Amino acid sequence: MQKDQFVYVTYIRTTPEKLWKALIEPEFTRQYWGNTAQESEWKPGASWHMKAPGDLLTDSGEVLEIEPPRRLVLKWRNEFIPQLKAEGYSRLTYQLEKEGNSVKLTVIHEIEKKGSKFIEAVSSGWPHILASLKSLLETGESLEETREWPSEACK
């Protein structure tokens, strides 16, 4: 296999529409994703940015596929850690499937490279963010430690 990839699946008691909003709208992401906000026109080919407080550009890319509230594919590159930025673009896929009272959320993050530091870095971050997202949608409260942008990451 010529690429590094991980696949995370979590079941969240919510509707696909609510989960879709929670994945992209700043009002939600700020609560569970380190106080970050994403900017995009959310249509194929549109540019995509993620910003932390203080206008710090953390990641950027492009919307590759968008089909609300079922599927979103982004081209994604880290912007604030030179070593990770140098690895170039990765590809992130969100897939939302209704299953009973829940939504099965599949997150696939991949890069055309073996031994990617970027994939290693995000693979430990995602479970935390997704657990907090689940908590926010199910209980109304995100996990406390995910609400602020970690100061040690702002180098």
Partner 1 sequence: MDAVFKALADLSRRKLLDELRKENGQTLSKLCEHLDMTRQAVTKHLGLLEKANLIAVVWRGREKLHYLNPMPLHEIYERWIGKYERHRLQALSDLKKGLESAAGRIRSGGQTKTKNQKTK
What is the token pair recorded at 69?
Answer: 């509230």
- Is 58 within 8 Å of 85 (Cβ atoms)? no
Tell whether residue 106 is a contact of partner 1 (CB under 8 A).
yes
Identity of residue 80: F
Among 26, 143, 147, 153, binds partner 1 (CB under 8 A): 143
d(CA 108, CA 4): 11
Q: Which of 121, 131, 147, 153 binds partner 1 (CB under 8 A)?
A: 131
Among 18, 21, 128, 147, binds partner 1 (CB under 8 A): 128
The per-residue DSSP string of 71-116 comes to EEEEEEEE-S-HHHHTT--EEEEEEEEEETTEEEEEEEEEESSSS-
Site membership for partner 1, residue 121 (CB under 8 A): no
The C-alpha torsion from 131 through 132 and 133 to 134, rounded to 10°, is 50
Query: Which stretch, 16-24, 36-44, 49-57, 127-135, contacts partner 1 (CB under 8 A)?
Result: 127-135
Nearer to partner 1, 37 or 143 (CB): 143
* Comparison of 2 and 27: residue with beta carbon closer to partner 1: 2
At 82, which amino acid appears?
P
Q: Specify the residue, 11 or 89, whose C-beta has the smaller distance to partner 1.
A: 11
Question: Does 41 interact with partner 1 (rule: CB under 8 A)?
Answer: no
Contact positions vs partner 1 (CB under 8 A): 1, 5-11, 106, 108, 127-128, 130-131, 143-145
